[in-house]
């Protein structure tokens, strides 16, 4: 991957930040590890670059991961040159590349879903094509459609969510909403899911204030969500994770809206660690708690899954935000994913 700190074309989609900047044959990903201090885009030239970007958290957020993976392979194909092989060889080549990309983040449901859908496109193209180039073209077009569809889906979620909140919170002409983690343009192909709802509320003139938590241990809220909200001139306040209950008790929150990593068949959700405590606090204070997620986040899985989906990960942010902040002999328990409600 090459760094391009001067890249500006495609940084914004309307007024929103873009994590993915794509043109046929060219892909740049915003290095989210550097935010909010630096805005640096990395050139992604092939699926190997895409795999590394996903693994190393250059790009994060399930929808964005899936789109970045699909487009990294599209860029590789566009710049591949002559392919010496049959249409069957081309189909096999693409299938192996997709399996490789899925291995970069096995827990990202969107990534595996995207790979499955793209394999179906490849199979259909291979059944009717005699040349490898035809299959490659079909793949590139399908990957590009995924990019457009994700933005359209997010805007629909935002519009519906804003209307839903206004219908169900009739006593609040203007409302303040608390969100968690990052579910905006940086986590998707554009606009966002839960943050997309907040964007829509703001656009309709009914948002009093958006509150976002820091979201330990990776600080997606303080580093990314707060950055997005300020960039879009949305009235925003950042709070410590531990301040959420006090904020609710003080009457500053009309609704909580978050995203989801997965949604089970019975409606249970799994999301970033800390979502569960927000749900409990909201329930205690009688504040409605909503999940904003696209249809492909739903899985017909049992409640047992959501009880056993914890992902343990060592994160320096837990113990060394400003140098060492904990005693070396003290253990720490650091989860990144938990069942929500």
Q: For residues 188-198, give the mean pLDDT.
A: 97
Q: What does the domain layout of the chain look like in residue ranges? A: 20-150, 161-297
pLDDT score for 270: 86
> Is 168 strand, coil or helix?
helix
The pLDDT value recorded for residue 341 is: 45
β-strands 262-263, 255-258 pairing: unpaired
The pLDDT tens digits of the residues spanning 83-120 come to 989 999 999 999 999 999 999 998 888 899 999 999 99
Q: From CA 53, how far away is CA 47, in angstroms rounded?
A: 10
| Terminal C-alpha separation, the chain | 39
Exposed / middle / buried, residue 75 (Cβ in 10 Å: 0-12, 13-18, 19+): buried
Q: How confident is the model at residue 331 (pLDDT cuts 50, 70, 90)?
A: low
Strand-pairing partners, residue 263, are 269, 298
For residue 202, pLDDT over 70 is answered with yes
pLDDT at 307: 45
Looking at the DSSP assignment, which residues form a beta bridge with residue 177? 210, 255
Q: In the chain, pLDDT over 70 holds for what percent of residues?
A: 82
Q: Check: CATH 1.20.120.420 for 20-150? A: yes
Mean pLDDT of 207-219: 94
177-214 as b/e: b if 16+ CB within 10 A: bbbbbbbbbbbbbbbbbbbbbbbbbbeeebbebbbbbb
CB neighbours of residue 104 within 10 Å: 20
| Cα–Cα distance measured from residue 20 to residue 109, given in angstroms and rounded to the nearest whole number | 19
| Predicted confidence (pLDDT) per residue in 234-262, tens digit | 999 999 999 999 999 999 999 999 999 88
Kindly tell me the burial class for residue 71, based on how many C-beta atoms sit within 10 Å of its own C-beta (0-12, 13-18, 19 or more).
buried
- State yes or no: pLDDT of 311 exceeds 70: no
Per-residue model confidence (pLDDT) at position 7: 34
Across the range 147-176, mean pLDDT stands at: 94
For the chain, what is the mean pLDDT?
A: 87
pLDDT (0 to 100) of residue 339: 47
Does residue 24 carry a pLDDT above 90?
Answer: yes
Q: Which two tokens stand for residue 113?
A: 């879903």
Place of tokens 């839903």: 164
- Residue positions annotated with a catalytic role: 261
Going by pLDDT thresholds of 50, 70 and 90, the confidence category of residue 322 is low
Is residue 150's pLDDT more than 50?
Answer: yes
Tell me the CATH number for domain 161-297. 3.40.50.10470
| HEC-encoded secondary structure of 21-40 | EEECCEEEEECCCCCCCCCC
- Residue holding tokens 């997010």? 154
């Amino acid at each position: 991957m090459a760094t391009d700190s001067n890249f500006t074309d495609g940084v914004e989609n309307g007024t929103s930040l873009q994590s993915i900047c794509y043109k046929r044959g060219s892909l740049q990903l915003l290095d989210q590890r550097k935010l909010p201090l630096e805005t640096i885009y990395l050139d992604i030239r092939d699926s190997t670059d895409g795999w590394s970007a996903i693994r190393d958290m250059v790009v994060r957020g399930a929808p964005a991961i899936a789109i970045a993976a699909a487009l990294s392979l599209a860029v590789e194909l566009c710049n591949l040159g002559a392919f010496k092989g049959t249409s069957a060889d081309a189909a096999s080549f693409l299938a192996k590349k997709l399996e490789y990309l899925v291995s970069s983040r096995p827990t990202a449901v969107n990534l595996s879903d995207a790979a499955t859908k793209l394999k179906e496109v490849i199979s259909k193209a291979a059944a009717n094509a005699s040349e490898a180039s035809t299959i490659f073209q079909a793949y590139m077009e399908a990957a590009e459609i995924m990019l457009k569809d994700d933005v359209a889906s997010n805007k629909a979620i935002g519009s519906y969510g804003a209307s839903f909140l206004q219908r169900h919170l009739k006593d609040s002409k203007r409302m303040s909403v608390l969100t968690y983690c990052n579910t905006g343009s940086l986590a998707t192909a554009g606009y966002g899911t839960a943050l997309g709802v907040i964007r829509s509320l703001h656009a309709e003139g009914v948002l009093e204030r958006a509150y976002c938590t820091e979201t330990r241990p990776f600080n997606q809220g303080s580093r990314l969500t707060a950055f997005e909200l300020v960039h879009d001139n949305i009235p925003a306040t950042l709070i410590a994770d531990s301040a959420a209950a006090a904020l609710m008790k003080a009457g500053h929150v009309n609704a909580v809206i978050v995203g989801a990593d997965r949604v089970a068949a019975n409606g249970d959700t799994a999301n970033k660690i800390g979502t569960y405590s927000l749900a409990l606090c909201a329930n205690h204070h009688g504040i409605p708690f909503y999940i904003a997620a696209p249809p492909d986040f739903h899985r017909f899985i049992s409640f047992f899954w959501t009880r056993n989906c914890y992902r343990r990960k060592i994160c320096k942010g837990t113990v060394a935000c400003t140098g060492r902040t904990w005693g070396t002999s003290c253990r720490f328990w650091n989860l990144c994913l938990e069942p929500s409600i």
